[in-house]
C-alpha cells in the first residue's frame, strides 16, 4: 500500500432511526488497495473518536502513513487534532483525487440503497476554494529559466512507475481512452532538483492559465488547500505564442477529464525527471 492516505470525515445524505444525519469516516490509500468505512454516532463527532479509528486502522493494516490528506474546511480542526492524537501527520490538501472518486461512487451506488437516504449530492467532495489566496511568485532562487508545453497519450503513462524521477506522485488515469492526449508543462531549471523538492513540499494540485486583463495571463500552480503560485507572467503581444499555448493547454485539460502533468528537468533532452506529477483539476 502507498504510504499516503486520504480521509474524509463528514455527514452523508442519510438520516438514522432518530432522524439525525449519519456521519461517516472513510480512509483509503491513493491506489485504493485498502478501504476503511466506519459510521460515527452523531454525539461522538470529535477528534477523540477519530483518533481511536485511526489507531485501529493502523493496527489493522500494519502500516503507518507518512501523512493523511483531507479536504473538508469545516472539519479541519477536528481532523488535524485527531491525526495528531493518533501520532500521524494530517494535511489539508485538494490533492485527494482518490477520495473524491470514491465518494462519487458511493453517492451513486451505496447511499441511495440505504434507508433514510435524502438526495444525491452531485459534488460530494468540493475541491474548490471559496476564498483563494492571492498568488505568490515562486521563490526567486528556484524559478525556472523556461517552460515547454508537451503532450503524451494516456497509454504512454502505463509504465510511468518505472521512469527515472527524484520527486514524483502519479495518479491512475485508466479512466481515459488510451489515445487521449494528456498535456503537460515541463519546467527547465539549472536548479531542477531544488525546484522539484520545493514543489513536492507545496503539494501540487493543478496548473491553470488564468487571464487577468486583455493583455496579461498568468500560469498558476494551485497547491495544498488554498495556495497559489505564479509560475510565469505572460504579456501580449510579446508572449502571444505562449498565451496561445496556454489556451491549447486549457482546452486539452478539459478533454482529458482535468488530467495533466507537471515535470521539472535540467534540460529537455535527458531521460531523467527531477520532478514529475500527474495533476487534476476538478472540471
pLDDT digits (tens, 9 = 90+) for 23-51: 999 999 988 999 999 999 999 999 999 99
Task: Give the Cα separation of 159 and 178 in Å (integer).
Answer: 13
User: What integer is the mean pLDDT of 126-147?
Assistant: 87
Same domain membership, residue 255 and residue 140: yes
In a domain, 31, yes or no: yes
pLDDT at position 2, please?
Answer: 61
Same domain membership, residue 158 and residue 102: no
Same domain membership, residue 64 and residue 156: no
Same domain membership, residue 161 and residue 252: yes
Looking at residue 109, what DSSP letter applies? H
pLDDT at position 229, please?
Answer: 96
Task: Give the Cα separation of 84 and 76 in Å (integer).
Answer: 12
Last residue of a domain, one of 48, 82, 113: 113
In a domain, 168, yes or no: yes
pLDDT at position 152, please?
Answer: 97
In a domain, 92, yes or no: yes
pLDDT at position 109, please?
Answer: 96
Backbone angle region of 151, left / alpha / beta, with phi > 0 → left and psi within -120 to 50 → alpha: beta
Number of structural domains (the chain) is 2
Here the CATH number for the domain that contains residue 90 is 3.30.420.10
Is residue 182's pLDDT more than 90?
Answer: yes
In a domain, 131, yes or no: no
User: What integer is the mean pLDDT of 103-109?
Assistant: 96
Q: Which of 259, 275, 262, 283 is nearest to 173 (CA)?
A: 259
Please count the other Cβ atoms lying within 10 Å of the Cβ belonging to residue 178. Answer: 12
Same domain membership, residue 56 and residue 9: yes
Same domain membership, residue 74 and residue 153: no
Same domain membership, residue 191 and residue 276: yes
Same domain membership, residue 225 and residue 145: yes
Sorted by sequence, the CB contacts under 8 Å of residue 102 that are 6+ apart come out as: 26, 28, 32, 35
Is residue 1's pLDDT more than 60?
Answer: no
Q: Helix H segments across the chain? A: 47-61, 76-85, 97-109, 192-202, 240-255
pLDDT at position 133, please?
Answer: 77
Same domain membership, residue 81 and residue 165: no
User: What integer is the mean pLDDT of 165-180?
Assistant: 96
Same domain membership, residue 149 and residue 63: no
Cell numbers standing for residue 29: 490509500
Kindly give the interhelix angle for 47-61 and 76-85, rounded to the nearest 10 degrees: 50
Report the mean per-residue pLDDT for the chain: 95
In a domain, 205, yes or no: yes
Q: Whole-model pTM? A: 0.93
In a domain, 122, yes or no: no
Same domain membership, residue 152 and residue 99: no
Same domain membership, residue 105 and residue 160: no
Give, rounded to a whole angstrom, the gap between the first and last alpha carbons of the chain.
Answer: 28
Q: What is the pLDDT of residues 204-252, one digit of tens each?
A: 999 999 999 889 999 999 999 999 999 999 999 999 999 999 999 999 9
Bridge partners of residue 151, in order along the sequence: 183
Sorted by sequence, the CB contacts under 8 Å of residue 74 that are 6+ apart come out as: none
In a domain, 127, yes or no: no
Is residue 83's pLDDT more than 80?
Answer: yes
Sorted by sequence, the CB contacts under 8 Å of residue 240 that are 6+ apart come out as: none
- Which structural domain range is residue 50 located in? 4-113
In a domain, 120, yes or no: no
Amino acid at each position: 500500500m502507498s504510504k499516503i492516505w486520504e480521509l474524509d470525515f463528514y455527514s452523508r445524505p442519510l438520516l438514522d432511526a432518530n432522524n439525525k444525519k449519519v456521519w461517516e469516516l472513510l480512509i483509503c490509500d491513493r491506489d485504493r488497495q485498502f478501504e476503511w468505512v466506519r459510521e460515527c454516532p452523531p454525539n461522538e463527532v470529535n477528534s477523540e473518536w477519530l483518533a481511536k479509528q485511526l489507531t485501529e486502522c493502523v493496527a489493522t493494516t500494519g502500516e503507518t502513513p507518512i501523512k493523511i490528506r483531507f479536504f473538508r474546511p469545516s472539519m479541519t480542526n477536528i481532523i488535524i487534532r485527531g491525526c495528531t492524537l493518533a501520532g500521524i501527520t494530517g494535511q489539508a490538501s485538494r490533492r485527494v483525487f482518490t477520495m473524491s472518486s470514491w465518494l462519487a461512487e458511493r453517492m451513486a451506488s451505496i447511499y441511495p440503497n440505504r434507508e433514510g437516504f435524502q438526495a444525491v449530492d452531485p459534488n460530494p467532495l468540493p475541491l474548490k476554494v471559496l476564498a483563494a489566496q492571492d498568488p505568490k511568485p515562486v521563490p526567486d532562487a528556484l524559478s525556472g529559466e523556461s517552460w515547454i508545453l508537451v503532450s503524451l497519450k494516456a497509454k504512454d503513462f502505463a509504465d510511468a512507475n518505472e521512469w527515472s524521477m527524484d520527486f514524483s506522485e502519479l495518479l491512475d488515469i485508466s479512466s481515459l481512452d488510451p489515445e487521449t492526449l494528456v498535456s503537460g508543462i515541463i519546467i527547465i531549471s539549472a536548479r531542477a532538483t531544488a525546484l522539484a523538492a520545493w514543489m513536492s513540499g507545496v503539494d501540487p494540485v493543478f496548473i491553470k492559465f488564468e487571464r487577468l486583463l486583455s493583455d496579461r495571463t498568468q500560469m498558476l500552480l494551485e497547491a495544498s488547500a488554498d495556495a497559489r503560485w505564479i509560475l510565469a507572467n505572460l504579456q501580449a503581444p510579446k508572449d502571444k505564442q505562449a498565451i496561445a499555448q496556454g489556451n491549447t493547454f486549457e482546452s486539452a485539460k478539459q478533454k482529458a477529464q482535468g488530467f495533466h502533468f507537471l515535470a521539472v528537468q535540467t534540460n529537455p533532452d535527458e531521460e531523467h525527471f527531477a520532478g514529475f506529477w500527474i495533476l487534476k483539476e476538478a472540471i
